[in-house]
Structure formats: C-alpha cells, structure tokens
Amino acid sequence: MKYFEIRHGVMHIEDIPLPDIAQRFGTPCYVYSRAALLAAANEYLQVFAGQNALICYAVKANSNLAVLNQFAKLGLGFDIVSGGELARVLVAGGDPTKIVFSGVGKTEAEIEAALRAGIKCFNVESAAELETLAAVAARLEKVAPISFRVNPDVDAKTHPYISTGLKENKFGIPLQDARAIYQRAQRLSSLRIVGIDMHIGSQITEITPFREAAQKLLQLVDALYKDGINLEHIDIGGGLGVRYRDENEPSVAEFAAMCREIFAARRTQLLLEPGRRLVAYAGILLTRLLYLKTGETHDFAITDAAMNDLMRPALYQAWHPIEKVETRVTDDTITRAWNIVGPVCESSDFFAHKRTMALRQGELLVIGAAGAYGMTMSSNYNSRPRICEIMVDGKTATIVRARENIDALFAGEFVLS
C-alpha cells in the first residue's frame, strides 16, 4: 500500500494521517487516493501507448463523479451498464464518443438515451436485444454503432458469481451463433457493425484464460472478414485481477504483451474495459471499533461499518486486508483471533474471520483494497444511511459524496392517506 503507509506509527493516506480524516468526516467512510487512481490509469495508458488502444474504464467498479472526472481528464473512455452510469459519465465530463454500453438487459429508454448521447458502441448481448436496438434507432432516425459480445466458453477460474465467459452464463452470444447474428445485423439499416466484444469475468489472476478467449475471438473475426464484415475494433473486456491476499497478480505489462503478440499484424483498434484494476488499491474503508466481545469459542470485534457498506466478504467470501491505523499496542489491547463483524442483523455481515490482531475498543481500522465494488454495491439495508466518500490529494481531503442523513433514508416514501 504505497499510497497508504505507516509514518511514526500512524497510517497516512498520501500526506494526511487517517485519524484526521476520521475526526473531520466521521466514520465509517471510504477514502480514495487521487495519486493512486492516476497511477493505475497511467500504467494502462503507458503500457498500451504504442498500440491503437482505447481504455474504457468499467464504471460499475467505482462510479463516484470525482473518480470518473479524474479518468475523463486523462482521456479514458468508459464502459457502462445502465442509463444511470451513462448520466454519471456525461456529468463527470466523459467523452460520449468513447463510451461503450454493455449489459444483457438494456431497456428502450436506456438505448434511446445512449443513442441521443452519441456513444461509440452498443455491446449487444442477444438476438432479441438486436431487434429492439434496431427498432429504437430507426424510430429516432439514427444509426446505432454495434458490436456483439460473444461468449467464448472459457473458464476464467474465478469465483462463480463473477465468471461470465462460460456457456452456462447469461452473458453474450454463443460463439457458434455469432456469424449468423452478424449477418442478420448487416441487413438492418439502422445499425452499423463496428466491432466485437468479450468479457469473461472478473478478478482473473492468470493471463491464460484471456489468451485462450482472445484467440477464439480472432478466429471469429477472420471468419467474419470472409463474410464481408470488416470490424473497426476488438474489445477484450476487463477482468484483470488484483492481490487482496496472496493471489497471483498478472502485471498490466504482461497483459499488454499478450495482446501485442496475438493482435500483432492487425490494425484494428483494441478496446479494454478494466474496472477493478484501476480503482481497487486506491480506496480504503475507514471504520471504528465499537465493541470487543470475547467469548468461549469466538471473539468478535464489532465495527461501525457493515456489509451494507462493503458487501464483497458477504457476497463472495472475499478476503480484504485489515490493518490498525495506530500501530502502537497499549495495556488495554486484547490479542485474539478476531472475527471482525458489522452491526447488521445477518451472520453474513463480516469483514474477516480469525484475524489475529491486538485490538482496543474505539480504535480505527482500515479495510484495504476497497476502492472497487465497495461503495457502488452499498445499500441502505438495516436503514443505515450510505456513508461518505473522501478523496485525498497530497495534503488536501475533499468530500466527494456526502454522508446520507436520516431524512434521506425515507425521503421518497409515503404512508397511505
């Protein structure tokens, strides 16, 4: 955690001690390092600089306007999955001509909004969606740029909930059906075929599944060329994993080398849709220990953050690093193999099991690598207001999303008269 480091026994984010953040903004809160965000994006930009490539950040990983704005200013494109994400990207200053729209269930209203915005491409995921898209475009007297998301039937070897490139998954068009559907699209005058797309899953920790899937994709591209369909871009999706614990973390350079090798002779533009890899390390969840509850068989450390704030452990049994903000061990710390849990009424409300640490009631903890799929998956479960988000730039901390107040919890609710 280069942007989060212990100085004189206190964890800092960039040049600010985390206790200062807690005092000023309260806990729990998400805290992001601007420098870490820029470093992750610049790594992609530099590594792919020699190639005709467009990096489209997958918005669902972290959709805060300030995050999107930082990436927009670097010239990144965006991969969106809803009309809400489209609106966010536009408000944050994203270039509509660099937006690709993925997802198996785009509504007519969402399609219409994206057509009016003038996005780069719709990643179409079914024959039925194709017909709807063609009809909406025709009604608006527009031509929709499309690619098909094909499902290469490759095992990404990740958690089943985030594996998307197997034939039993709901995503994409089966490889063997792709030529026929491209031919169908060619006959629809309100559509323009521009590309092909895949996304085989998330938190993938080896290069091999990407290579295998991309090779299958290229065979299809060549078959399409023989059918008279010449593509402008090939989108190989996102999914590059990060190290939460001890996972293998393929480098972006390794990933780019694989791309260069197999796309070598092609002039087609390469699109990438990284989400997690651009934001995971840049964010932490800062939380305070409310109570320690020791028992005969289990010891619980109860935090003010809960599963509704960071759902990954409950949803995927995900492992996150957890560290003390102040490292000093005092007389009142208790060393146990703690189950670190939140206050929500669910046994799945945990952040860690059996973490051996010396803890003290009232101290601050950092749940690390929480910049991706943290805030975006949060909810109001148990009527807990959504927490605030802070972005740090050097010595400056800025609130980039306010903590919800209690009134906001039921502002849109009404009782019968």
| Interface with ligand PLP (CB under 6 A) | 58, 60-61, 79, 81, 102, 199, 202, 237-240, 273-277
Mutual orientation of helices 65-73 and 83-91 as an angle, nearest 10°? 60
Half-sphere exposure in the Cβ direction for 344 (13 Å, CA): 23
How many Å apart are CA 336 and CA 341, to the nearest integer?
14
- Nearest approach in angstroms of CB 372 to ligand PLP is 6
- Tokens describing residue 206: 């080896």
Cβ of residue 381: shortest distance to ligand PLP, in angstroms? 22
Nearest CB to ligand PLP, comparing residues 151 and 303: 151
Buried (b) or exposed (e) across 251-278, using 16+ Cβ within 10 A? Answer: ebeebbebbeebbeeeebbbbbbbbbbb
- Residue 57 Cβ vs ligand PLP, minimum distance, rounded to whole Å: 9
The CA distance from 406 to 392, in Å, is 26
Neighbours of 416 (CB within 10 A): 3
Cβ-based nearer residue to ligand PLP, 12 or 60 = 60
Q: Are 267 and 303 in contact (CB under 8 A)?
A: no
The amino acid present at 72, given as its one-letter code, is: A
| Nearest distance, CB of residue 163 and ligand PLP, angstroms | 11
Minimum distance of ligand PLP from residue 320's CB (angstroms)? 16
Cross-strand pairs, 105: none
Q: According to DSSP H, which parts of 227-287 are helical?
A: 252-263, 276-279
Nearer Cβ to ligand PLP (81/113)? 81
Query: 209 vs 238, which CB is nearer to ligand PLP?
Result: 238
Q: Which residues are catalytic?
A: 345
Q: Which is nearer to ligand PLP, 16 or 55 (CB)?
A: 55
Per-position DSSP letters for 117-169, written without gaps between them: HT-SEEEE--HHHHHHHHHHHHHTT--EEEEEEEE------S-GGGB--STTS
Chain position whose Cβ is nearest to ligand PLP: 275
